[in-house]
Homo-oligomer: A and B are copies of this chain.
Amino acid sequence: MQFISRATPLYEFLRLSNGTNHEKRVLDCGAGGAQPPLYLFYQHGYQTYGIDISEDAIKASENFCQKNNLNIDLNIKKGDMRTIEYEDEFFSFVYSYNSINHLSKSDIIKTMREIERVLTPDGLCYVNFGSEDSEIGDRGEKIGEGEYLLPIGNNQTALHTFHTDNEADSYFRNFKLLRKEKSILYRYEKGELQFLICKIHYIGKKM
């Protein structure tokens, strides 16, 4: 199948990962969903591992494989990225795309330490964060600095965390930054600008 992932920032991560001689073993934190990016890495010969806190999201990723007649197992299991159930230095590559922004800042600190722990020395990680420059209407209920409960329909809310431009740099103290990019997506509806979705993307190499 000619698959182009919606998670296009991961192509840069894949390109840099392919440029190393590391063992091709990758972990996705927040791996579930209807179009699992792990399939991209699978296509490029990686041993794929994924964890997701949501059983629905895991089911959706299994449906993706079934629907596309892919007789493969992306190896996505229920798990919590704040306490990753793999041993130290087990992965050459770890990423988390559009997921960590649903954790509180104290949980993000825990998660970043876990990502660092399970990475081999010289291993690469990609993580993106929500940016404070995002325009999200009234932002719902503020519960902490850069932490908001935002409506997601059906009278439910979900935690969304936002970072200032350099705030997330501190998570990468033990990494060499290979790339840092801020992206500002203009969202239009019926030709009118509605709001901006801003993210800050990091690729680091564990020192």
Contacts and interface: CB of A to CB of B under 8 A. Distances in A.
B14 A11 contact: no
Nearest to A198: B182
Interface string A12-52: 10110010000000000000000000000000110000000
A154 interface: no
5 contacts: A2-B44, A5-B11, A6-B15, A180-B188, A184-B184
A183 B181 contact: yes
Given A2-B45, A180-B185, 13 more contacts: A2-B18, A4-B11, A4-B14, A4-B15, A4-B18, A5-B11, A8-B8, A177-B191, A179-B185, A181-B183, A181-B185, A182-B186, A183-B184
A142 interface: no
A176 B191 CA distance: 7
A182 B181 contact: no
Interface of A: 2, 4-6, 8-9, 11-12, 14-15, 18, 44-45, 176-177, 179-186, 188, 191
